[in-house]
Homo-oligomer: A and B are copies of this chain.
Amino acid sequence: MSDHPFVFEPIGRVESCFKEKFGIPRQSGLAPHASARIHLPLTPFRDAISGLEEFSHLWVVFIFHANRENAVEIRWKPRVRPPRLGGSRKVGVLASRSPHRPNPIGLSAVKLERVETTRTEVILHISGADLLDGTPVLDIKPYIPYADSIPRARSGWAKSEKQQLLQVSFSAAANAQLKMLDPRGTRHLRALVRELIAQDPRPAFQRSERKSQQYAFRLCELDVHWSLEGGKVHVFDLRSR
């Protein structure tokens, strides 16, 4: 199959609050408050996206660029342990949405909130994103429900019901910090933190740990500190970096 390699150049980049893999939703749409921006050069993309704002959702075809940590490409393995299965079962990588694929191409359905035009760029404001900051974007496609939406598709190990969510509580200190950090008083940031943690971002191998554990992930310029005990999450601190 190596007779014909194809070379692609990114058309743009993602700017998002997800600065590291830990904490990123495992699929698009799971954290509706997760907003991001796709930056494209004004020329030729102002013309190339005309009409896109008529669509509520779009596909982002992107590169899983963080696979290449420390400039060493992590090779893919034929079988992986999806987090949803608690690390207990291996499935084929092509029967999963793992980033460590033969061709590390990702696919996310996101909501298009608005299109902004600056002097040099077109910026697509999206939500429901599961995209790492700096993600190279290969393609944008309109989401066309009559072809793309198959509500009754049977999914195997990735059950159609949403994963059971963890209960999330906030300390008084965390609530005060969130209030201060949310300039519009929209509770947007609080809702986002809740969405991200309720889905249990821990890697599968950590989930069987019984004793109370403390975790932190980076969100925009914040470190969010939380603990987990008895299936309940407590967000106890947010610190500016």
A157, CB-defined interface residue at 8 Å: yes
What's the nearest-Cβ distance from chain B to residue A132, in Å? Answer: 15
Residue of B10, B105, B162 touching A4 (CB-CB under 8 A): B10
**Chain A, interface residues (CB within 8 Å), range:** 35 or more
Does B97 lie within 8 Å of A136, measured CB to CB?
A: no
Contacts of A1 in B (CB 8 A): 9-13, 41
Does B147 lie within 8 Å of A28, measured CB to CB?
A: yes
Question: How many identical subunits does the complex contain?
Answer: 2
A44, CB-defined interface residue at 8 Å: yes
Contacts of A145 in B (CB 8 A): 150-153, 155, 160
Query: In the complex, what distance in Å separates the CA atom of A28 from the CA atom of B150?
Result: 11
A89 to chain B: closest residue by CB: B51
Seed contacts A107-B107, A148-B153; 17 additional CB < 8 Å A-B pairs: A5-B9, A6-B9, A7-B8, A8-B103, A29-B147, A29-B150, A30-B147, A50-B79, A96-B142, A97-B142, A107-B141, A109-B148, A144-B158, A145-B160, A146-B160, A149-B150, A149-B153
> Can you list 11 A-B contacts with CB-CB less than 8 angstroms, sorted by A residue number?
A4-B136, A8-B103, A9-B103, A27-B146, A47-B79, A50-B79, A55-B95, A143-B153, A145-B150, A145-B153, A146-B162
